[in-house]
Structures are given as structure tokens and as C-alpha cells.
């Protein structure tokens, strides 16, 4: 077992990039992907155990909390959580803290991956993709340094009632959006989206992707599609697609990524 473990959920790579950058500071880290059931849940031997995940609809992706309930952590471990959002952190860190108490937490922002809602550069502060990435790498440095110093945040993560209400309504909104997926004639049946979908919600039919309704809205299928063949509503074809510049679709399919 590595000295450090980071459980990571990432739809379009921002959180995986953050997790890898933090791990470079910590050294000897297993990044255990939690897009689907994590390959390892008993991490009682790890000295530091962290979670890096995005904010979707005012809170953590539901699967992050489901999988967190299966994870065993030593009571002595230094636990930490990093939530990444476009503007506000939502209640994800507070929900995770109720399952696994966090000794250190941070909410940071990066480019917006919710293409049907906003263009990707609509983030707080408003930044180009290049500047946002530079800033994210700087923040990973700060977080890595604070984790190495064993800083304790000393207060509970925020639980804004408006974000809590949004997060409660989110499953219904996500279901409605999922019904709007369309795959165009540009689809070449490469099946990358089939392999990438964390819910196993995409299949090939007659050489073309077909998207079902069991969708968590990570939007990896759409944002990474090499043919830009996937849309969700009419606006998404008009907007520039975005995924983290350092992360490939194949990286997100890994189960465990070790960083020395």
C-alpha cells in the first residue's frame, strides 16, 4: 500500500489533473478512480487519504458519496477533501465530511465543464483555459504544501441552503437533460464514449453510439468525443468543447494511477 491515497472522481479531467498534481507533491500516492466502484476500498494502511471531486448541481456527484460509504480509513489517517467547481463549492465537501470526517479541505475553481449551461470560460474568476490551468497548477502547489505540513482546516465545510436545495433537485434535472442526448451522423462508432461512460450507459448499435438515461452528467462522452458527434440540447454544438488539457479520455478509464 502506498503512503498516500487519493480517491478521485473526474468527468472532464480537471479533478484528475488536480489529483495528479497534488500527488506529485506528496510522492508515493495511489490515485484510486471512483468514477465507478473503486478497485480498492480498504485503505487503513495509508497515512494520508484524500478525495478530489467536482461539484455537479450544487454538490458532489452522487456516486462519490455512495462509494465513500464503502471506504475504510484508519482513524489516525490525515484525511482531506478538495472540491473543484466553476464558481461555488456546493455541499459536496460537507456531505463527504459527514461520511469521512475531513481534517483538511479546500474548495477551488476551474473551467466550467457544464457545456449545456455555460461556456467553459464562465468561471469565477473569469479566465481563459490557459490561465485557468496555470492557476489550478498553482493551487495544487499550495494544497500539496499544506498537506505536507499537516495543516488542519479547523472548521466544517460550508453547507449553503441554496446549494443544498439545488443539489436535492439535481437528480431530476440530470434525468431531464439525459433525455436530450443526440448522436449525429458524424459518429464513427469508435466506442470511446462506451468505454468512458462511468455508468455503462452507452452502447453501440449499428456502428453508432446510443446513449441511455442512466447518466450522472459527467459529460466526458460529449467533451472528449473526437468527432464532436454528441450533443445535449441545441446549444452544445455552438459552444467550444472543453476537457482538461493534460488529461486524455484513456487516463479517466484507469482504475489506479500510481505517482512516485
Ligand X SMILES: Cc1cc2nc3c(=O)[nH]c(=O)nc-3n(C[C@H](O)[C@H](O)[C@H](O)COP(=O)(O)O)c2cc1C
Contact residues toward ligand X (CB under 6 A) are 10-15, 54-58, 84-88, 90, 110-114, 217-219, 244
Contact 233, 180 (CB under 8 A): yes
Nearer to ligand X, 1 or 173 (CB): 173
To which residue does cell 499544506 refer?
A: 146
Interaxial angle between packed helices 129-148 and 14-26, expressed in degrees from 0 to 180 and rounded to the nearest 10: 40
State the nearest-atom distance from the C-beta of 119 to ligand X, in Å. 11
State the nearest-atom distance from the C-beta of 224 to ligand X, in Å. 11
Nearer to ligand X, 18 or 183 (CB): 18
In angstroms, rounded to a whole number, what is the distance separating the alpha carbons of residues 251 and 31?
A: 11
State the nearest-atom distance from the C-beta of 258 to ligand X, in Å. 19
State the nearest-atom distance from the C-beta of 142 to ligand X, in Å. 17
State the nearest-atom distance from the C-beta of 205 to ligand X, in Å. 25
Under DSSP, the state recorded for 143 is H
Nearer to ligand X, 77 or 86 (CB): 86
Q: Which three cell numbers stand for residue 157?
A: 465545510
Nearer to ligand X, 71 or 123 (CB): 123
State the nearest-atom distance from the C-beta of 45 to ligand X, in Å. 27
State the nearest-atom distance from the C-beta of 1 to ligand X, in Å. 25
C-alpha distances out from residue 252 to 14, 55, 85, 128, 148, Å: 11, 17, 18, 23, 26
Nearer to ligand X, 85 or 231 (CB): 85
- Residue 173 — φ and ψ, nearest 5°? -65, -45
Q: Is 28 left (phi over 0), alpha (psi -120 to 50) or beta?
A: left
Residues 6+ apart with CB under 8 A from 190: 226, 227
Nearer to ligand X, 76 or 130 (CB): 130
In angstroms, rounded to a whole number, what is the distance separating the alpha carbons of residues 22 and 125?
A: 22
Helices (H), the chain: 14-26, 62-68, 92-99, 129-148, 161-178, 192-196, 220-224, 249-252
Amino acid at each position: 500500500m502506498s503512503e498516500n491515497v487519493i480517491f478521485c472522481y473526474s468527468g472532464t479531467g480537471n479533478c484528475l489533473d488536480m489529483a495528479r498534481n497534488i500527488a506529485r507533491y506528496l510522492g508515493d500516492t495511489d490515485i484510486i478512480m471512483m468514477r465507478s466502484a473503486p478497485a480498492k476500498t480498504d485503505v487503513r494502511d495509508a497515512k494520508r487519504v484524500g478525495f478530489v471531486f467536482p461539484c455537479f448541481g450544487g454538490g458532489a456527484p452522487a456516486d462519490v458519496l455512495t462509494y465513500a460509504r464503502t471506504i475504510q480509513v484508519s482513524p489516525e489517517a490525515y484525511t482531506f477533501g478538495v472540491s473543484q467547481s466553476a464558481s461555488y463549492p456546493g455541499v459536496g465537501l460537507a456531505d463527504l465530511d459527514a461520511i469521512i470526517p475531513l481534517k483538511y479541505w479546500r474548495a477551488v475553481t476551474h473551467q466550467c465543464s457544464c457545456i449545456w449551461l455555460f461556456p467553459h470560460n464562465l468561471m469565477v474568476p473569469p479566465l481563459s483555459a490557459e490561465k485557468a490551468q496555470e492557476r489550478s497548477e498553482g493551487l495544487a502547489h499550495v494544497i500539496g504544501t499544506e498537506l505536507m505540513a499537516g495543516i488542519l482546516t479547523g472548521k466544517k465545510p460550508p453547507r449553503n441552503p441554496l446549494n443544498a436545495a439545488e443539489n436535492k433537485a439535481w437528480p431530476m434535472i440530470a434525468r431531464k437533460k439525459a433525455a436530450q442526448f443526440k448522436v449525429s451522423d458524424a459518429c464513427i462508432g469508435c466506442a470511446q464514449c462506451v468505454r468512458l461512460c462511468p455508468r455503462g450507459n452507452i452502447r453501440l448499435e449499428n456502428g453508432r453510439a446510443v446513449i441511455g438515461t442512466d447518466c450522472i452528467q459527467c459529460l466526458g462522452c460529449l467533451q472528449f468525443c473526437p468527432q464532436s458527434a454528441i450533443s445535449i440540447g441545441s446549444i452544445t454544438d455552438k459552444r467550444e468543447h472543453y476537457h482538461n488539457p493534460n488529461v486524455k479520455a484513456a487516463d479517466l478509464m484507469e482504475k489506479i494511477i500510481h505517482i512516485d
